[in-house]
Amino acid sequence: MLHKYRWYEYVLIYAGLAVFLTFVLAPFVEAFVVSMRPLTSLFSIPYRFITDKMSFDAYFTMWENVPLLWMYMLNSFFIATAVTVLGLICIIPAAYAFARFEFPARNSLLGIFIAVNMFSGAVLIIPLFKLMQQYGLLNTYFAMIAPGTAFVIPTGIWLLRSYLVRIPKELEEAAWVDGAGKIYTLWRVIIPVALPGIVVVTITAFITAYAQQFIFALTFNSVNELNPLPVGLFQFFGRQNVVWNELMAASLVGILPVLFVYVFLQRYIVAGLTAGAVKE
Q: How far is the CB of 276 from other proteins (least distance, A)?
A: 3
Convert residues 130-169 into a mask of x (bound to other proteins by CB under 8 A) and - (unbound): --------------------------------------x-
| Binding status of residue 182 toward other proteins by CB under 8 A | no
Complete DSSP assignment for 74-125: HHHHHHHHHHHHHHHHHHHHHHHHHHH---TTHHHHHHHHHHHHHS-GGGGH
The phi, psi pair for 181, rounded to 5°, reads -80, 180
| Binding status of residue 9 toward other proteins by CB under 8 A | no
Q: How far from chain centre, in Å, is Cα 209? A: 5
**Bridge partners (DSSP) listed for residue 237:** 242
| Binding status of residue 199 toward other proteins by CB under 8 A | no
| Binding status of residue 184 toward other proteins by CB under 8 A | yes
Closer by beta carbon to other proteins, 204 or else 274? 274
C-alpha to C-alpha distance for 216 and 82, rounded to whole angstroms: 14
- Contact window for other proteins (CB under 8 A) among 11-19, 95-103, 142-150, 192-200: 192-200
| Binding status of residue 193 toward other proteins by CB under 8 A | yes
| Binding status of residue 173 toward other proteins by CB under 8 A | yes
Closer by beta carbon to other proteins, 9 or else 178? 178
For residue 142, how many C-alpha atoms fall within 13 Å in the half-sphere facing its CB? 8
Sign of the torsion angle spanned by Cα atoms 186, 190, 191, 197:
negative
CB distance 83 to 202 below 8 Å? no
| Binding status of residue 198 toward other proteins by CB under 8 A | no
| Binding status of residue 174 toward other proteins by CB under 8 A | yes
Residues that bind other proteins (CB under 8 A): 168, 170-171, 173-180, 184, 188-189, 192-193, 195, 272-279
